């Protein structure tokens, strides 16, 4: 079976304003860098034309595939759904706004090549790589939430929330096969699971720029994320992260026609 080296998962909900630009960047980077890669866009029950735009793009670009959630489930569920259906050997996810340029993925891939099981992008290891800062209130909230996360979850990372992370396939199997949080608070959970499973996690500074169109509500979603941190600790006490992870749903190999089209495009 012919499987790509990399899978890039992009969760998307009502992203008509950004998804085509994201796909232009990702597909262009794949071709420019010569990556053997597939792109999975997971539509989270969008009510706009996100899925239609992705389907049209996929017809013209064989590396792109659309996965549809049956209804809106949340970013965490969408990332998990994409990861568990990925065919690559190294799996990563990135936000549709590409706050970290997709070219920065090479930093994550390099960390994995050097022995990491999980490589996570960080906005805060060095401020020099931030090209467009968040408003002050968002920076304050982010720092406070990260401090709480470090305290409650005992995670030693400067930035748990950056939506730019890569995994060896087996590491992704262990992490996403046990993930339970379906919305914004899933990032600390997957890092907690990785640490619980003894995986080597490397934090990598990445270029990052704030997108003013971010949908997160720091009051409503912030309270939900704090509750989810407690939920993760409760799951850990009940031993749920020591169980066998669910199996990957590895998609069948491409048809000869689609496989040929992908390699021709690359």
Within-domain flag for 153: yes
Parent domain of 100: 6-247
Q: What is the pLDDT of residues 96-137, one digit of tens each?
A: 999 899 999 999 999 999 999 999 999 877 654 554 455 555
Query: In the chain, how many domains are there?
Result: 1
Task: Name the nearest CA neighbour of 20 among 52, 45, 47.
Answer: 52
User: Between vectors from CA 232 to CA 230 and to CA 234, what angle results, nearest 5°?
Assistant: 70
Within-domain flag for 58: yes
Within-domain flag for 265: no
Within-domain flag for 149: yes
- The CATH number that applies at residue 183 is 3.90.550.10
Average pLDDT for 251-264: 48
Within-domain flag for 263: no
CA distance 150 to 146: 6
256 pLDDT exceeds 80? Answer: no
Parallel, antiparallel or unpaired: strands 118-122 and 37-43: unpaired
Q: What is the pLDDT of residues 41-57, one digit of tens each?
A: 999 999 999 999 999 99
Using 50, 70 and 90 to split pLDDT, how confident is the model at 223?
confident
Within-domain flag for 168: yes
Q: What is the pLDDT of residues 122-131, one digit of tens each?
A: 987 765 455 4
User: What is the DSSP code (8-state) at residue 34?
Assistant: T
Within-domain flag for 37: yes
Share of the chain above pLDDT 70, in %: 81
């Amino acid at each position: 079976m012919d499987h790509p080296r990399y899978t890039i998962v992009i969760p998307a909900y009502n992203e008509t304003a950004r998804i085509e630009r994201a796909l232009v960047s990702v597909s262009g980077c794949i071709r420019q860098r010569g990556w053997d890669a597939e792109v999975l866009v997971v539509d989270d029950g969008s009510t706009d034309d996100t899925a239609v735009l992705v389907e049209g793009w996929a017809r013209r670009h064989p590396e792109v595939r659309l996965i549809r959630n049956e209804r809106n489930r949340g970013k965490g569920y969408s990332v998990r759904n994409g990861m568990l259906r990925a065919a690559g050997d190294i799996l990563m996810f990135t936000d549709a706004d590409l706050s970290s340029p997709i070219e920065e993925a090479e930093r994550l891939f390099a960390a994995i090549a050097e022995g990491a099981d999980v490589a996570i992008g960080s906005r805060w290891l060095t401020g020099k790589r931030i090209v467009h800062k968040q408003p002050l209130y968002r920076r304050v909230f982010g720092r406070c939430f990260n401090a709480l996360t470090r305290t409650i979850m005992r995670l030693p990372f400067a930035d748990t929330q950056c939506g730019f992370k890569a995994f060896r396939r087996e590491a992704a199997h262990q992490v996403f096969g046990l993930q339970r949080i379906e919305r914004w608070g899933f990032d600390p959970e997957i890092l907690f699971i990785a640490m619980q499973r003894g995986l080597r996690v490397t934090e990598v500074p990445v270029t990052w720029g704030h997108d003013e169109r971010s949908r997160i509500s720091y009051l409503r979603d912030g309270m939900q994320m704090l509750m989810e941190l407690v939920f993760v600790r409760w799951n850990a006490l009940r031993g749920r992260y020591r169980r066998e992870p669910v199996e990957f749903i590895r998609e069948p190999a491409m048809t000869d026609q689609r496989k040929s089209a992908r390699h021709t495009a690359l």
